[in-house]
Amino acid sequence: MSQNAFDQKKEHILAEIHNNMQDLSPKGTIDELCWPIMNLVNSHPDMITTSSCSGRLSVFVEGNKLHNEEMKSGGKGDGGKWLFVTHKHEDVANWSQNLSEQVVYTTDLQERSLEASARYILYKYEPFILHVKCRDFSTASKLFSTAMACGFRESGIGSNNIVAVRVNIKLDVPIGYLDHSSQKLIFFVSKGYIEQIDGMTLSKFSENTKKMHELYDKIESQIIKPAQEVPVTKAPQETKEERRERKRMEGLLRQQQISREKDGIVVQTDAATQD
Protein backbone atom coordinates (compact mmCIF):
# COMPACT_ATOMS: atom_id res chain seq x y z
CA MET A 1 0.00 0.00 0.00
CA SER A 2 1.44 3.37 -0.94
CA GLN A 3 2.09 5.96 1.70
CA ASN A 4 -0.45 8.18 0.06
CA ALA A 5 -3.25 5.64 0.33
CA PHE A 6 -2.56 5.16 4.03
CA ASP A 7 -2.59 8.90 4.62
CA GLN A 8 -5.86 9.28 2.73
CA LYS A 9 -7.46 6.51 4.71
CA LYS A 10 -6.18 7.91 7.98
CA GLU A 11 -7.62 11.32 7.20
CA HIS A 12 -10.96 9.73 6.31
CA ILE A 13 -11.08 7.67 9.51
CA LEU A 14 -10.05 10.62 11.68
CA ALA A 15 -12.94 12.65 10.27
CA GLU A 16 -15.34 9.80 11.12
CA ILE A 17 -13.93 9.54 14.63
CA HIS A 18 -14.30 13.29 15.09
CA ASN A 19 -17.96 13.18 14.02
CA ASN A 20 -18.53 10.16 16.18
CA MET A 21 -17.09 11.82 19.27
CA GLN A 22 -19.41 14.76 18.77
CA ASP A 23 -22.44 12.55 18.41
CA LEU A 24 -23.56 11.88 21.95
CA SER A 25 -26.34 9.40 21.23
CA PRO A 26 -25.86 6.22 23.25
CA LYS A 27 -25.83 3.87 20.29
CA GLY A 28 -23.25 3.82 17.53
CA THR A 29 -20.72 6.04 19.25
CA ILE A 30 -17.21 5.13 20.24
CA ASP A 31 -17.24 4.59 23.97
CA GLU A 32 -15.44 7.48 25.57
CA LEU A 33 -13.21 5.34 27.77
CA CYS A 34 -11.34 4.49 24.56
CA TRP A 35 -10.72 8.10 23.57
CA PRO A 36 -7.39 8.66 25.37
CA ILE A 37 -5.69 5.60 23.92
CA MET A 38 -7.22 6.20 20.50
CA ASN A 39 -5.96 9.77 20.46
CA LEU A 40 -2.52 8.61 21.56
CA VAL A 41 -2.29 5.95 18.85
CA ASN A 42 -3.64 8.29 16.20
CA SER A 43 -1.06 10.95 17.10
CA HIS A 44 1.52 8.67 15.44
CA PRO A 45 1.80 9.26 11.69
CA ASP A 46 1.92 5.53 10.91
CA MET A 47 -1.06 4.23 12.92
CA ILE A 48 -4.83 4.64 12.85
CA THR A 49 -7.39 2.92 15.09
CA THR A 50 -10.13 1.12 13.18
CA SER A 51 -12.28 -0.33 15.96
CA SER A 52 -12.39 -0.39 19.73
CA CYS A 53 -14.31 -1.45 22.80
CA SER A 54 -13.23 -0.35 26.27
CA GLY A 55 -14.59 -3.50 27.92
CA ARG A 56 -18.15 -4.33 28.78
CA LEU A 57 -20.63 -6.43 30.65
CA SER A 58 -23.46 -7.89 28.61
CA VAL A 59 -26.38 -10.14 29.42
CA PHE A 60 -28.30 -11.66 26.56
CA VAL A 61 -30.52 -14.49 25.38
CA GLU A 62 -28.83 -16.68 22.77
CA GLY A 63 -30.21 -16.79 19.25
CA ASN A 64 -32.54 -19.52 18.09
CA LYS A 65 -30.51 -22.71 17.66
CA LEU A 66 -33.12 -24.58 15.65
CA HIS A 67 -33.27 -21.99 12.93
CA ASN A 68 -29.64 -21.12 12.85
CA GLU A 69 -27.40 -24.09 13.37
CA GLU A 70 -24.37 -21.94 12.74
CA MET A 71 -25.19 -19.71 15.72
CA LYS A 72 -22.28 -20.28 18.01
CA SER A 73 -22.32 -20.62 21.73
CA GLY A 74 -20.96 -17.58 23.44
CA GLY A 75 -22.33 -15.09 20.94
CA LYS A 76 -25.69 -13.39 20.80
CA GLY A 77 -26.25 -14.64 17.28
CA ASP A 78 -29.26 -14.08 15.04
CA GLY A 79 -32.49 -13.87 16.93
CA GLY A 80 -30.67 -13.29 20.19
CA LYS A 81 -31.83 -10.54 22.51
CA TRP A 82 -29.83 -8.07 24.54
CA LEU A 83 -31.03 -7.81 28.12
CA PHE A 84 -28.28 -5.45 29.28
CA VAL A 85 -25.05 -3.92 28.01
CA THR A 86 -22.75 -1.47 29.73
CA HIS A 87 -19.21 -0.16 29.42
CA LYS A 88 -19.42 1.53 32.82
CA HIS A 89 -18.61 -0.11 36.12
CA GLU A 90 -21.09 2.13 37.95
CA ASP A 91 -23.94 0.50 36.00
CA VAL A 92 -23.08 -3.05 37.09
CA ALA A 93 -24.75 -3.10 40.50
CA ASN A 94 -28.41 -4.01 40.55
CA TRP A 95 -28.74 -4.48 36.79
CA SER A 96 -30.90 -7.51 37.43
CA GLN A 97 -33.48 -5.42 39.29
CA ASN A 98 -34.36 -3.69 36.05
CA LEU A 99 -35.37 -7.06 34.68
CA SER A 100 -37.08 -8.28 37.83
CA GLU A 101 -40.57 -8.47 36.36
CA GLN A 102 -39.46 -10.86 33.63
CA VAL A 103 -37.27 -13.04 35.86
CA VAL A 104 -38.13 -16.22 37.74
CA TYR A 105 -35.44 -17.72 39.98
CA THR A 106 -35.20 -21.46 40.30
CA THR A 107 -32.42 -23.56 41.74
CA ASP A 108 -34.41 -26.76 41.53
CA LEU A 109 -32.66 -28.16 38.49
CA GLN A 110 -31.57 -31.55 39.74
CA GLU A 111 -34.48 -33.38 38.20
CA ARG A 112 -34.86 -31.25 35.14
CA SER A 113 -33.06 -31.32 31.89
CA LEU A 114 -33.45 -28.65 29.29
CA GLU A 115 -34.34 -29.41 25.69
CA ALA A 116 -31.52 -29.27 23.20
CA SER A 117 -33.13 -26.19 21.67
CA ALA A 118 -33.00 -24.28 24.98
CA ARG A 119 -31.92 -20.68 24.55
CA TYR A 120 -29.57 -19.88 27.37
CA ILE A 121 -29.14 -16.52 29.06
CA LEU A 122 -25.44 -15.65 29.13
CA TYR A 123 -23.65 -13.20 31.39
CA LYS A 124 -20.45 -12.05 29.79
CA TYR A 125 -17.57 -9.78 30.62
CA GLU A 126 -15.35 -8.88 27.67
CA PRO A 127 -12.20 -6.82 28.07
CA PHE A 128 -10.74 -3.92 26.10
CA ILE A 129 -10.02 -4.64 22.45
CA LEU A 130 -8.43 -2.37 19.88
CA HIS A 131 -7.71 -2.72 16.19
CA VAL A 132 -5.01 -0.51 14.70
CA LYS A 133 -4.14 -0.25 11.03
CA CYS A 134 -0.44 0.48 10.54
CA ARG A 135 1.35 1.99 7.59
CA ASP A 136 3.79 -0.91 7.31
CA PHE A 137 4.68 -4.26 8.81
CA SER A 138 7.51 -2.80 10.84
CA THR A 139 5.12 -0.48 12.71
CA ALA A 140 2.62 -3.34 13.13
CA SER A 141 5.36 -5.53 14.64
CA LYS A 142 6.36 -2.78 17.05
CA LEU A 143 2.77 -2.30 18.25
CA PHE A 144 2.30 -6.06 18.50
CA SER A 145 5.40 -6.53 20.64
CA THR A 146 4.48 -3.56 22.85
CA ALA A 147 1.03 -5.03 23.44
CA MET A 148 2.48 -8.47 24.20
CA ALA A 149 4.92 -6.88 26.66
CA CYS A 150 1.94 -5.46 28.61
CA GLY A 151 0.28 -8.84 28.81
CA PHE A 152 -2.10 -8.44 25.87
CA ARG A 153 -1.24 -12.00 24.99
CA GLU A 154 -3.99 -12.74 22.53
CA SER A 155 -2.83 -9.98 20.21
CA GLY A 156 -1.95 -10.68 16.61
CA ILE A 157 -1.28 -9.12 13.26
CA GLY A 158 -3.92 -9.68 10.60
CA SER A 159 -4.09 -8.70 6.97
CA ASN A 160 -3.26 -5.18 5.79
CA ASN A 161 -0.98 -4.62 8.80
CA ILE A 162 -3.97 -4.41 11.12
CA VAL A 163 -2.99 -5.27 14.68
CA ALA A 164 -5.61 -6.71 17.05
CA VAL A 165 -4.75 -5.90 20.66
CA ARG A 166 -6.46 -8.47 22.88
CA VAL A 167 -6.24 -9.65 26.46
CA ASN A 168 -7.86 -12.55 28.26
CA ILE A 169 -9.88 -11.04 31.14
CA LYS A 170 -13.19 -12.78 30.73
CA LEU A 171 -16.30 -14.11 32.32
CA ASP A 172 -18.67 -16.26 30.34
CA VAL A 173 -21.41 -17.57 32.58
CA PRO A 174 -24.73 -19.24 31.74
CA ILE A 175 -27.25 -17.90 34.27
CA GLY A 176 -30.55 -19.18 32.94
CA TYR A 177 -32.72 -19.79 29.92
CA LEU A 178 -35.73 -18.37 28.12
CA ASP A 179 -38.96 -20.21 28.79
CA HIS A 180 -40.57 -20.55 25.37
CA SER A 181 -44.19 -20.67 26.49
CA SER A 182 -44.23 -17.92 29.13
CA GLN A 183 -41.37 -15.88 27.61
CA LYS A 184 -40.08 -15.51 31.18
CA LEU A 185 -36.37 -15.43 31.93
CA ILE A 186 -35.68 -18.45 34.14
CA PHE A 187 -32.53 -17.86 36.21
CA PHE A 188 -31.04 -21.14 37.42
CA VAL A 189 -28.59 -19.35 39.71
CA SER A 190 -29.45 -17.55 42.94
CA LYS A 191 -29.61 -13.82 43.60
CA GLY A 192 -26.56 -14.31 45.80
CA TYR A 193 -24.68 -15.84 42.90
CA ILE A 194 -25.57 -12.89 40.67
CA GLU A 195 -24.16 -10.60 43.36
CA GLN A 196 -20.97 -12.65 43.42
CA ILE A 197 -20.39 -12.43 39.68
CA ASP A 198 -21.33 -8.73 39.68
CA GLY A 199 -18.53 -8.29 42.22
CA MET A 200 -16.13 -10.21 40.03
CA THR A 201 -17.16 -8.10 37.05
CA LEU A 202 -16.26 -4.98 39.02
CA SER A 203 -12.81 -6.47 39.70
CA LYS A 204 -12.46 -7.22 36.03
CA PHE A 205 -13.40 -3.66 35.11
CA SER A 206 -10.62 -2.45 37.45
CA GLU A 207 -8.07 -4.93 36.15
CA ASN A 208 -9.02 -3.98 32.60
CA THR A 209 -8.63 -0.26 33.30
CA LYS A 210 -5.21 -0.93 34.81
CA LYS A 211 -4.18 -2.87 31.71
CA MET A 212 -5.40 -0.05 29.47
CA HIS A 213 -3.27 2.43 31.44
CA GLU A 214 -0.25 0.15 31.19
CA LEU A 215 -0.76 -0.14 27.47
CA TYR A 216 -1.18 3.62 27.14
CA ASP A 217 2.09 4.23 28.99
CA LYS A 218 4.01 1.61 27.03
CA ILE A 219 2.76 2.83 23.66
CA GLU A 220 3.67 6.37 24.67
CA SER A 221 7.17 5.53 25.90
CA GLN A 222 8.05 2.84 23.33
CA ILE A 223 6.43 4.11 20.16
CA ILE A 224 5.12 7.69 20.33
CA LYS A 225 7.99 9.47 22.12
CA PRO A 226 10.81 7.82 20.13
CA ALA A 227 9.00 8.77 16.90
CA GLN A 228 8.77 12.41 18.08
CA GLU A 229 12.45 12.56 19.05
CA VAL A 230 13.76 11.41 15.70
CA PRO A 231 12.61 13.59 12.83
CA VAL A 232 10.67 11.34 10.49
CA THR A 233 13.17 10.31 7.85
CA LYS A 234 11.98 7.09 6.38
CA ALA A 235 14.98 4.89 5.88
CA PRO A 236 14.12 2.07 3.50
CA GLN A 237 15.81 -0.45 5.81
CA GLU A 238 16.24 -0.23 9.57
CA THR A 239 18.05 -3.52 9.91
CA LYS A 240 19.54 -2.90 13.33
CA GLU A 241 16.31 -1.81 14.92
CA GLU A 242 14.37 -4.58 13.25
CA ARG A 243 16.85 -7.06 14.62
CA ARG A 244 16.47 -5.63 18.13
CA GLU A 245 12.69 -5.77 17.71
CA ARG A 246 12.80 -9.37 16.55
CA LYS A 247 15.01 -10.38 19.49
CA ARG A 248 12.61 -8.64 21.85
CA MET A 249 9.62 -10.38 20.35
CA GLU A 250 11.36 -13.72 20.61
CA GLY A 251 11.77 -13.10 24.33
CA LEU A 252 8.08 -12.25 24.60
CA LEU A 253 7.05 -15.34 22.76
CA ARG A 254 9.24 -17.43 25.01
CA GLN A 255 7.56 -15.83 28.05
CA GLN A 256 4.19 -16.52 26.51
CA GLN A 257 5.04 -20.14 25.89
CA ILE A 258 6.38 -20.60 29.40
CA SER A 259 3.15 -19.10 30.70
CA ARG A 260 1.17 -21.48 28.51
CA GLU A 261 3.16 -24.39 29.85
CA LYS A 262 2.35 -23.25 33.38
CA ASP A 263 -1.29 -23.22 32.38
CA GLY A 264 -0.93 -26.84 31.34
CA ILE A 265 -1.02 -26.37 27.59
CA VAL A 266 1.58 -28.60 26.04
CA VAL A 267 4.26 -26.71 24.21
CA GLN A 268 6.17 -28.89 21.81
CA THR A 269 9.22 -26.70 21.65
CA ASP A 270 10.11 -23.08 22.08
CA ALA A 271 10.60 -22.77 18.38
CA ALA A 272 10.60 -19.01 18.50
CA THR A 273 13.74 -18.75 20.55
CA GLN A 274 16.21 -20.82 18.63
CA ASP A 275 16.70 -18.97 15.35
Contact set for its own copies, span 46-75 (CB under 8 A): 48-53, 56, 58, 72-75
Q: Which of 90, 101, 229, 275 binds its own copies (CB under 8 A)?
A: 275
Please tell me whether residue 24 binds its own copies under the rule CB under 8 A: no
Asked if 180 and 115 touch (Cβ cutoff 8 Å), the reply is no
**Non-local CB neighbours of 209 within 8 Å, separated by 6+ positions:** 33, 55
94 is a site residue for its own copies (CB under 8 A)? no
Q: Does 89 bind its own copies (CB under 8 A)?
A: no
Report, in angstroms and rounded to the nearest whole number, the Rg of the chain calculated over CA atoms.
Answer: 22
Choosing from 20, 100, 117, 228, the residue that interacts with its own copies (CB under 8 A) is 20
Q: Judged by CB under 8 A, does residue 244 bind its own copies? A: no
137 binds its own copies (CB under 8 A): yes
- Give the residue, chosen from 113, 183, 233, 237, that forms a contact with its own copies under the rule CB under 8 A: 113
Q: How far is the CB of 182 from its own copies (least distance, A)?
A: 19
CB 233, min distance to its own copies, A: 25
One-character DSSP codes across 183-234: --EEE-S-HHHHHHHHHHHHHHHHHHHHHHHHHHHHHIIIIIHHHHHS----
Q: CA 219, 224, 227 angle in degrees (round to 5)? A: 140
Pairwise CA distance, residues 22 & 36, whole Å: 15
Please tell me whether residue 7 binds its own copies under the rule CB under 8 A.
no
Q: Write out the binding residues for its own copies, residues 181-220 only, by CB under 8 A.
A: 188-193, 195-197, 199-200, 203-204, 207
Contacts with its own copies, 148-177, as mask; x by CB under 8 A:
x--x--xxxxxxx-x-x-x-xxxxxxx---
Say which DSSP state 44 is in.
S
Distances (CA, A) of 206 to 54, 163, 169, 213, 214: 12, 24, 11, 11, 12
If the CB atoms of residues 62 and 219 are measured against its own copies, the closer one turns out to be 62
